[in-house]
């Protein structure tokens, strides 16, 4: 689905590349989590996937980024947006309508989706995000979590092949954050959509992502299954990425020779392993 080959980018006003020599292959239908310390280049990496770089943010672009056979530099942004749907961190800046229903309809109308398909798409998108009951609500009256789901639903209605989200749970509490990830993971499984999420909450990414990408100073430090990446907890901490405490505990037990299995991703997995270790 996505192929990055030696991708390097420096913003026009910058003095050095923000990302350097990025090569990454993302298969169709995979849930990808991207994280790293502030300024590591993770947001710029997603801008390359949806064409914001270089179409909206000009600069020096080297290598290639190809999404489902389309070179993001060569295709016009309008065509790419039919393929890649994006949800920004500040969802309030993304809304253009007052009512939830109108917001979900907005993209469909702009892309000229036949009217007889609109009702089905709107209803399905709202259902996929679990917010059918919000259809007639005023967006400004919604909670942060509800707004986030409306923003995602408005993109899902356009049925993109790739969904890119930049810190979708930054303003949400733990329960709402988990709920958003559960809905995204379910959508990816049911529709075969490739989901790419930039997120600081590595515990959430580790629990839901198929592929975990760690950025460090503009380069990919790790790109593997979460359990494999989390085995490097000490190195991750040195580059500003804090692993879940349950992971750190089990890694220390491994180092002490008390445990030899894979890294755990959450408290539940740690508890199950500890039962075996103690027994």
Question: pLDDT digits over 199-256, tens only?
Answer: 988 888 998 999 999 999 999 999 999 989 998 988 998 999 988 888 887 788 878 8
> Residue 266: what pLDDT?
75
State whether CATH 3.40.50.150 applies to domain 2-226. Answer: no
Domain boundaries, the chain: 2-226
pLDDT above 90: residue 102: yes
pTM confidence score: 0.89
Is the bond leading into 54 cis (omega within 30 degrees of zero)? yes
Q: What percent of the chain has pLDDT over 90?
A: 60
pLDDT in tens, 259-270: 777 787 777 878
- Res. 24 pLDDT band, cuts 50 70 90: very high
Start-to-end CA span in the chain (Å): 45
123 against 170, higher pLDDT: 123
CA distance 21 to 129: 36
Question: Six-digit token pair at 196?
Answer: 């790419």
Q: Are 249 and 266 in contact (CB under 8 A)?
A: no
């Amino acid at each position: 689905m996505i192929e990055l080959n030696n991708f390097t980018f420096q913003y026009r006003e910058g003095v050095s590349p923000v990302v350097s020599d990025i090569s990454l292959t993302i298969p169709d239908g995979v849930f990808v989590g991207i994280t790293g310390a502030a300024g590591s280049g993770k947001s710029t990496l997603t801008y390359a996937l949806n064409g914001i770089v270089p179409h909206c943010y000009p600069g020096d672009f080297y290598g290639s980024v190809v999404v489902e056979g389309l070179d993001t530099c060569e295709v016009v942004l309008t065509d790419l947006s039919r393929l890649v749907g994006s949800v920004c961190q500040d969802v309030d800046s993304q809304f253009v309508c007052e009512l939830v229903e109108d917001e979900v309809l907005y993209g469909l109308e702009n892309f000229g989706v036949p009217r007889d398909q609109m009702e089905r798409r709107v209803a399905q998108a709202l259902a996929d995000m679990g917010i059918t009951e919000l259809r007639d609500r005023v967006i400004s009256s919604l909670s942060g979590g509800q707004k986030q789901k409306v923003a995602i639903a408005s993109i899902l209605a356009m049925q993109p092949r790739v969904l890119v989200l930049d810190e979708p749970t930054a303003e949400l509490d733990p329960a709402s954050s988990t709920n958003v990830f559960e809905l995204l993971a379910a959508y990816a499984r049911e529709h075969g959509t490739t989901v790419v999420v930039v997120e600081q909450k590595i515990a959430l990414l580790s629990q839901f992502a198929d592929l975990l990408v760690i950025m460090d100073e503009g380069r990919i430090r790790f790109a593997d299954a979460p359990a494999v990446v989390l085995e490097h907890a000490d190195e991750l901490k040195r580059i500003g990425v804090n692993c879940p405490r349950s992971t750190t505990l089990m890694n220390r037990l491994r180092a002490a020779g008390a445990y030899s299995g894979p890294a755990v991703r959450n408290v539940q997995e740690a508890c199950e392993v500890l039962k075996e270790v103690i027994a």
